[in-house]
Structure 1
Amino acid sequence: MKAFIEHESRGRLRVRMKQYRMTLEQADLLEAYLQNQPGVLNASVHERTCCAVIRYIGDRENIIRAIAQFNYTAPSVTALTPTHSGRALNREYQEKLVGKVITKFACTLFLPAPLQIARTIWLSLPFLGRGLKRLIHRELKVELLDALSIGVSMVRRDFSTAGSVMFLLDIGELLEEWTHKKSVDDLARCMSLNVKRVWLKTDDAEVLVPLSNIAVGDRILVRMGNVIPLDGEVVEGEVMVNQASLTGESMPVAKRPGTQVYAGTVIEEGDCVIEVTQSSGESRYDKIVSMIEQSEQLKSAAESHAANLADKLVPYTLIGSALSYALTRNVTRALSVLMVDFSCALKLAMPLAVLSAMREASMYHITVKGGKFLEAVAQADTIVFDKTGTLTHACPVVARVIPFGGRSEDDMLRVAACLEEHFPHSMANAVVRAARERNLAHEEMHSQVEYIVAHGISSMVENKKVVIGSAHFIFEDEKCTVPAGEQEKYDALPVEFSHLYLAIGGELAAVICIADPLRPEACDVMKALRALGIKRTVMLTGDSERTAAAIAAEVGVDDYRAEVLPEDKANFVEQERAAGHTVIMLGDGINDSPALSAANVGVAISDGAAIAREIADITIAAENLFELVALRRIAQGLMSRINSNYRFVIGFNGSLIGLGVAGVLAPATSAMMHNLSTLGISLRSMTNLIDSSETTRLLESK
């Protein structure tokens, strides 16, 4: 692709594609391509100007080379086509908004007065109809106030005021609908599946293949702890499936041969073979959108309070209008009260603020599943961290493989990788990656694999039982022994590493030493969180006391617990909540799931276990823990904005009512100022809550 650089600064490029016109589909493809390039932190494409803005780290020449090699028709590029894009949605509502504004001013300037009156009467019919419907059902809602304001204005032959009120209401509704749909769309796309490869079951083998290769009728194997990638029917095995992400059910559901399972749900117990009935990802996306739109439990308490308060204030506005007329016998003053109410701004601005905050969070790769979780993040005083994959580096590495019993390093690493690839976790990924780097092929040499939560993996290889996991699992649960004459070698295992033990036939076969470096930003994140009001930070880990103490001291947490099991993590979180603390739990593994559920807010790392991501209330990307700081700042900014919105709405609209009763403001002026203030506070609620440049700088620092 031919392009030229329009502007450049450190870590940022603005390039213009050498093409006359860019379609929405082309913009989506280019943006997806750039986002997938190594070193690219963020890329946005503007189809109207055919420009792309790229933020990156590393070698500039790599970015230039990637742009030069881009081709819309290349198979590697077309494979990146997003199933859903918010670009078309934005274009649709931009055109609607511009169309309404142009139509309003064109009619005002060019239509004769009689036609303007006729147009106003025609446009008022839907408003009057909704108000009449509320009156028939004896519901004192904001629609009734809108209808009265418009109706009384037209009775007084003040068609200009009636038209202005309707125009502002239309604009407000359009902006609310736009922001709501965009926020839901962004959120749904963030929550969509991130499964790239699946196990295809054939007559004689299990083969790991790209998800895009799966067709209707194929059979795939899904094991415990993994997300079900496609809709289908269980044909082998019995499993317990967590369907909370789609149905809201709190308890897992038993699935047996002949029953349906759905993409995005997670297997909590057992393994199964699924015959695919829906190869497209459309169904999953649509289900997520439906869930977000229908789930009232996701609303924040402040949002629900605003909606309820808006309707409760309607009778008082009507009473105030009637009382004003009774005291002054002045229709104009009574109408001034009717033209102003608290409901519009409260009912419009608060949901917009919450949805916009969720949208803003998604800009930092943070997926928030509901407004109430942002509220809890703002109120939290305690954060509990899992260690592995969260505080420590997201990508542990195999430092050494120490074989026992005369076995070879490569053979033991091959066996370990063969078992570990079935249950992706940070340490398991390290083993699989080490085998790949050594070019060790680890074909399926074992029988069915069983995962024991927080302990390890068990299987059979060449008629011998093979287990891999913690020392507790290997030596205490499985009663394995150290080969004769090698106890001294075992006692000399390097203490600076975490250890993964592999035993074959009841005898220790190898110890895999895992280096789990602390995230470079972890200490600074702790300081930033304390500056934002977090009073207590705690680290929970299954590692030994020695390893846990060293990491805790290095990262600077207030407290830590070592050698904990999944139920211990959940119990600790529950104890903290019982003591009156609002708790955030951050984790990434299957063993963190109980604690994520127990916390006020569960936060999962995006490349962690599927069940952790599904159970969690919020998901952050794995690249940088400063996203947790951004989340806290957005949440606090949201609560501050909501409170300031309350103060402004009550103060400003109360002043308008007072000035109207005193006869200082005419009804038309009151209506205009009220509607303009509602529009203004709604637009303000849609703006970003935090300084993006400062937050981006923190996220880019490592």
Structure 2
Amino acid sequence: MRFVIKHEIKGRIRIHAVQKTMTCREADTLYYYLMSRKSVTAAKVRQQTQDITISYTSGREEMIQLLRRFCYKDVKVPESFLANSGRELNEEYRQKLIMHIVRWAGSRLFLPYPLRAAITAVKSVKYLKEGVKTLAAGKLEVPVLDGAAIGMSVIRRDMDTAGSVMFLLGIGEILEEWTHKKSVDDLARSMSLNVSKVWMMKDGQQILVSASDIREEDQIVVYMGNVIPFDGIVSEGEAMVNQSSLTGESVPVRKTADGYVYAGTVVEEGELTICVKETSGSTKFEKIATMIEESEKLKSSMEGKAEHLADQLVPYTLAGTALTYLITRNTTKALSVLMVDFSCALKLAMPISVLSAIREAGFYDITVKGGKFLEAAAEADTIVFDKTGTLTKARPAVVDVISFNGEDKDELLRMAACMEEHFPHSMAKAVVDAAKKKNLIHEENHSKVEYIVAHGISTTIDGKKAVIGSYHFVFEDEGCRIPEGMQETFDQLCPEHSHLYLAVEHSLAAVICIEDPLREEAADVVKDLKEAGIKKVVMMTGDSERTAGSIARRVGVDEYFSEVLPEDKAEFVEREKRQGHKVIMIGDGINDSPALSAADVGIAISDGAEIAREIADVTIGADNLNELVTLKKLSSLLMKRIHKNYRMIVGINTALILLGVGGIIQPTTSALFHNMSTLAIGLKSMEDLLV
């Protein structure tokens, strides 16, 4: 790569790429190349100017060599990264904005007034029709004001004012559409399907294959808690399917043989064998985008109040215009009132503020499904953590397999992996990964696998009943026993580890010891959440009292509950809500789903069970719990911005109305200041909250 150094200080360099032009794809490729280097801490690539700013920790010469070695064609960038960058979308709307301004300025400078007036009259028809249409529907809303202001200017033959008003309205529309589309696209992309492996039925056997290998008419099996990866028809089985991601309905739908299922929905209970009917180009992205754009229930109450107030103020603005004319008999002063309205700024600034906050959250690997969840997060005073995979690391590992029936440890691990691989849970994944590391190939030699939420798995292997799961499930529910002479070994199990119990024919066969280390940042996150306004931090887990107590003390939670069932978590959340608290619930497994649904804000970890992510209102990355603190701060700052916008809109527009009625400023000046202030507030609302 050829470049010129424009400016540099220690650890930071700004260069200019020597090339004719830089496309969006090239800019994204260069950015990916830089950020994939350990020595680079931050980078900005501006394709319009071809300038690149890099912050780095290595030596200067090493950075220079890194840039010299760069070649666009040699860098393999994941398509998902290019799709999610948003650079092309930003460039498209930047060009739209520039062209809108150039056309307006060009017409003012180069077109004669008669031609300019004719063009303005033609353009005004759109706003007049919209105003009449709104009135015909029996509504007094913003389009009526826009149409009236533009119409009166045209009637008075003040075409420059009418043109200026339409120009500023056009800028507002572009900015709102830009921010809205960017936020929706980011959100929908983050929620789009990411299924890499599926269970395919072949010759009566289930085989784990790549999703890309599936063709139409293939039979696939989807177990409880898993996302349905393709559209298809149920050929066998019965299940309750959660279709909320597509329909917005929270109640699961029963699916049986011959029923049609859609990609992106989740099997909440039961299991299905599906005959695939559609494999190419999943339309879930478009479905989600449509749902986000159309669903009123995802708007925050502040957005709803703003829109409602905006519409309510329209009759008062019209009445104020009429009253001013009756008192002063001055058309100019009356028009000054009409040119200024509160509703335009309210309807523009509030949604832009919320959508910008959702977009900004995406920068921190936080997916928010609607503005109302940011508002709820800002008001929340209680937070409930699941332990496994949330406060502890999302990747627990098997540290030991203790045999209780004399069989080889690897054979017992093989059997456990054969059962656990069918179900999404961090502990199950640890068992499967341990078997994989030892190259233990486990054939499907068991019968139908039954999963009991928050308890364990039951099946039949070689004609013998086998169960694996928690102590409560294996010993209390299933009545299994410890083999004779093994009680002492059982009593000496390490209390610091989590345990999975494997039993065959009601006799304990093995205990799989799993280390689930605490996240390094967990204690600091709890402390920071309290500083950010959370009054009570609670931990709930299905683990034993001893394990739960140890984790709770190290993390610093206010309360903890051990050996809880899914319904216990949900009941606790409901109880807290009845007492007037706003509750955030954080989890990653199937067993957390009821509590996630019950909470004011349900937050799922990104690599948790699909059903948890589907039901949750917010999804955060699995790498760092500090994103919870970021979410809390972001939502609080959003609420402050919205309240500040209210004060500014009311203050500025009231002043303009008074100045117009007093005859101090003309309607054209009033309209200009009103629209410019609306635009300024809208632009300010697009700025990042966390700087």
**TM-score tier (shorter):** over 0.9
**2:579 alignment counterpart:** 579
Indicate whether 1:358 and 2:358 are aligned: yes
Q: CA shift at 1:16, angstroms? A: 8.1
| Structure 1: distance between partners of 2:492 and 2:394 | 28
Q: CA shift at 1:497, angstroms? A: 1.0
Q: What are the superposed Cα offsets for residues 535-588 of structure 1, whole Å, 9 maximum, x if unpaired?
A: 000000111111111111100000111110000001111110011100000000
**2:173 alignment counterpart:** 173
| Structure 2: distance between partners of 1:62 and 1:245 | 45
**1:442 alignment counterpart:** 442
| Structure 2: distance between partners of 1:9 and 1:500 | 55
CA 1:594–1:468 in 2, change beyond 3 Å: closer, same or farther? same
**1:648 alignment counterpart:** 648
* Percent identity over paired residues: 59
Q: Secondary structure at the match of 1:554?
A: helix
Q: Secondary structure at the match of 2:443?
A: coil
Q: Which amino acid aligns with 2:429?
A: N
| Structure 2: distance between partners of 1:471 and 1:324 | 79
**2:469 alignment counterpart:** 469
**2:323 alignment counterpart:** 323
| Structure 2: distance between partners of 1:156 and 1:400 | 87
Deviates more, 1:494-503 or 1:65-74: 65-74
Q: CA shift at 1:70, angstroms? A: 7.9
Q: Which amino acid aligns with 1:608?
A: G
Q: Which amino acid aligns with 1:604?
A: A
Q: Which amino acid aligns with 1:542?
A: G
Aligned length, in residue pairs: 690
Q: Secondary structure at the match of 1:282?
A: coil
The answer on whether the counterparts of 1:72 and 1:78 sit within 8 Å (CA) in structure 2 is no
Written as runs of structure 1 = structure 2, the 5 A alignment for 1:260-299 is 260-299=260-299
| Structure 2: distance between partners of 1:63 and 1:221 | 53
| Structure 2: distance between partners of 1:40 and 1:425 | 35
Written as runs of structure 1 = structure 2, the 5 A alignment for 1:6-25 is 21-25=21-25
| Structure 1: distance between partners of 2:213 and 2:65 | 31
**2:108 alignment counterpart:** 108
Q: CA shift at 1:467, angstroms? A: 0.9
CA 1:358–1:467 in 2, change beyond 3 Å: closer, same or farther? same
Deviates more, 1:38-47 or 1:443-452: 38-47
Indicate whether 1:120 and 2:97 are aligned: no
The answer on whether the counterparts of 2:25 and 2:82 sit within 8 Å (CA) in structure 1 is no
**1:225 alignment counterpart:** 225
**2:158 alignment counterpart:** 158
Q: Which amino acid aligns with 2:535?
A: K
Written as runs of structure 1 = structure 2, the 5 A alignment for 1:415-564 is 415-564=415-564
The answer on whether the counterparts of 1:29 and 1:78 sit within 8 Å (CA) in structure 2 is no
| Structure 2: distance between partners of 1:216 and 1:73 | 36
TM-score, normalised on structure 2? 0.93
| Structure 1: distance between partners of 2:201 and 2:469 | 27
| Structure 1: distance between partners of 2:6 and 2:510 | 57
Indicate whether 1:377 and 2:377 are aligned: yes
Q: What are the superposed Cα offsets for residues 621-679 of structure 1, whole Å, 9 maximum, x if unpaired?
A: 11100100111111111111111111111111011111111111111111110000000
Q: Secondary structure at the match of 2:240?
A: strand
| Structure 2: distance between partners of 1:65 and 1:468 | 52
Q: CA shift at 1:42, angstroms? A: 8.3
**2:570 alignment counterpart:** 570
CA 1:79–1:319 in 2, change beyond 3 Å: closer, same or farther? closer
CA 1:325–1:617 in 2, change beyond 3 Å: closer, same or farther? same
Q: CA shift at 1:89, angstroms? A: 2.6
The answer on whether the counterparts of 2:604 and 2:618 sit within 8 Å (CA) in structure 1 is yes
Q: CA shift at 1:403, angstroms? A: 1.0
Q: CA shift at 1:157, angstroms? A: 2.8
Indicate whether 1:343 and 2:347 are aligned: no
Q: CA shift at 1:205, angstroms? A: 2.8
CA 1:393–1:78 in 2, change beyond 3 Å: closer, same or farther? closer
| Structure 2: distance between partners of 1:67 and 1:202 | 52
The answer on whether the counterparts of 2:39 and 2:57 sit within 8 Å (CA) in structure 1 is yes
Q: CA shift at 1:86, angstroms? A: 3.4
| Structure 1: distance between partners of 2:64 and 2:282 | 32
CA 1:162–1:577 in 2, change beyond 3 Å: closer, same or farther? same
CA 1:79–1:675 in 2, change beyond 3 Å: closer, same or farther? closer
Q: CA shift at 1:368, angstroms? A: 0.7
The answer on whether the counterparts of 1:83 and 1:281 sit within 8 Å (CA) in structure 2 is no
Q: Which amino acid aligns with 1:596?
A: L
Q: Which amino acid aligns with 1:161?
A: T
CA 1:487–1:6 in 2, change beyond 3 Å: closer, same or farther? farther
Which blocks of at least 5 consecutive residues in structure 1 are unaligned? 692-702
Q: Secondary structure at the match of 1:313?
A: helix
Q: Secondary structure at the match of 2:241?
A: strand
| Structure 1: distance between partners of 2:442 and 2:15 | 45
CA 1:573–1:49 in 2, change beyond 3 Å: closer, same or farther? same
Q: Which amino acid aligns with 1:626?
A: N
Q: Which amino acid aligns with 1:219?
A: Q
Q: What are the superposed Cα offsets for residues 156-212 of structure 1, whole Å, 9 maximum, x if unpaired?
A: 332222111110011001111111111111110011122221112212432222222
**2:395 alignment counterpart:** 395
| Structure 2: distance between partners of 1:505 and 1:543 | 25
Q: Secondary structure at the match of 1:485?
A: coil
Deviates more, 1:598-607 or 1:149-158: 149-158
CA 1:377–1:414 in 2, change beyond 3 Å: closer, same or farther? same
The answer on whether the counterparts of 1:321 and 1:334 sit within 8 Å (CA) in structure 2 is yes
Q: What are the superposed Cα offsets for residues 123-152 of structure 1, whole Å, 9 maximum, x if unpaired?
A: 212112222223334421111111221222
The answer on whether the counterparts of 1:83 and 1:282 sit within 8 Å (CA) in structure 2 is no
| Structure 2: distance between partners of 1:599 and 1:66 | 49
Indicate whether 1:140 and 2:140 are aligned: yes
**2:243 alignment counterpart:** 243
The answer on whether the counterparts of 1:2 and 1:68 sit within 8 Å (CA) in structure 2 is no
| Structure 1: distance between partners of 2:409 and 2:15 | 50
Written as runs of structure 1 = structure 2, the 5 A alignment for 1:2-81 is 21-25=21-25, 47-48=47-48
Q: Which amino acid aligns with 1:174?
A: I
CA 1:548–1:639 in 2, change beyond 3 Å: closer, same or farther? same
| Structure 2: distance between partners of 1:470 and 1:64 | 55
**1:696 alignment counterpart:** none
CA 1:28–1:207 in 2, change beyond 3 Å: closer, same or farther? farther
The answer on whether the counterparts of 2:333 and 2:666 sit within 8 Å (CA) in structure 1 is yes
| Structure 2: distance between partners of 1:233 and 1:181 | 33
| Structure 2: distance between partners of 1:206 and 1:353 | 49
The answer on whether the counterparts of 2:29 and 2:72 sit within 8 Å (CA) in structure 1 is no
| Structure 2: distance between partners of 1:212 and 1:66 | 36
The answer on whether the counterparts of 1:307 and 1:347 sit within 8 Å (CA) in structure 2 is yes
| Structure 1: distance between partners of 2:509 and 2:15 | 56
Q: Secondary structure at the match of 2:466?
A: strand
Q: Which runs of 4+ in 1 moved over 4 A?
A: 1-74, 76-85
The answer on whether the counterparts of 1:298 and 1:372 sit within 8 Å (CA) in structure 2 is yes
Deviates more, 1:112-121 or 1:159-168: 112-121
CA 1:160–1:71 in 2, change beyond 3 Å: closer, same or farther? closer
RMSD of aligned residue pairs (Cα, Å): 3.0
| Structure 2: distance between partners of 1:117 and 1:569 | 67
CA 1:43–1:209 in 2, change beyond 3 Å: closer, same or farther? farther
Q: Secondary structure at the match of 2:168?
A: helix
| Structure 2: distance between partners of 1:41 and 1:432 | 35
CA 1:520–1:16 in 2, change beyond 3 Å: closer, same or farther? farther
Q: Secondary structure at the match of 2:283?
A: helix
Q: CA shift at 1:2, angstroms? A: 9.2
Q: Secondary structure at the match of 1:176?
A: helix
Deviates more, 1:316-325 or 1:81-90: 81-90
**1:199 alignment counterpart:** 199
Q: Which amino acid aligns with 1:680?
A: A
The answer on whether the counterparts of 1:184 and 1:289 sit within 8 Å (CA) in structure 2 is yes
